[in-house]
Amino acid sequence: MKKPKMKKISYFNYDECADYIAHKLGVKDLRNFADHKFEHPEPKNNPPYQDFWHYLIQYGLYSVIRYGPHDDCFFKIPLLPEHFSEEEKIMEHWQITIIKAFKEEFGEDAEYWAEW
């Protein structure tokens, strides 16, 4: 029997990808999406809270693959609403826009690494 070989994983750095997607969508960043391109009913001096990273964490829709030793993890971007039951369809237009951009640019099954 041959000794098993170490396998390597491929992943994207989430921060680099988020910066790229923000640039592609024509916004400053994904942590303050409401201040940018998309219209919303609130006045410009009081935009709604639209932070994509906090959305990923708050709703737990991302798929954590494994946690690292220092506040880091590997995860996947969540599925789009058509994959959810009616109770789970909680995404807003801005969230769907970002998710679609990630999936189109980096693929449906891309894994991301994030450290915070």
The alpha carbon dihedral of 18, 29, 60, 105 has a sign of negative
Among 46, 29, 48, 45, residue whose Cα is nearest residue 93? 48
Residue 99 CA, chain-centre distance (Å), reads 6
C-alpha to C-alpha distance for 92 and 52, rounded to whole angstroms: 11
C-alpha to C-alpha distance for 19 and 98, rounded to whole angstroms: 12
pTM for the structure as a whole: 0.74
Tell me the average confidence (pLDDT) per consecutive run of 10 residues in the chain, 116 residues long.
90 95 90 63 63 77 64 78 59 84 92 84
Provide the pLDDT for residue 8.
Answer: 87
Provide the pLDDT for residue 95.
Answer: 85
Provide the pLDDT for residue 17.
Answer: 97
Provide the pLDDT for residue 66.
Answer: 66
Domain layout of the chain by residue ranges? 26-115
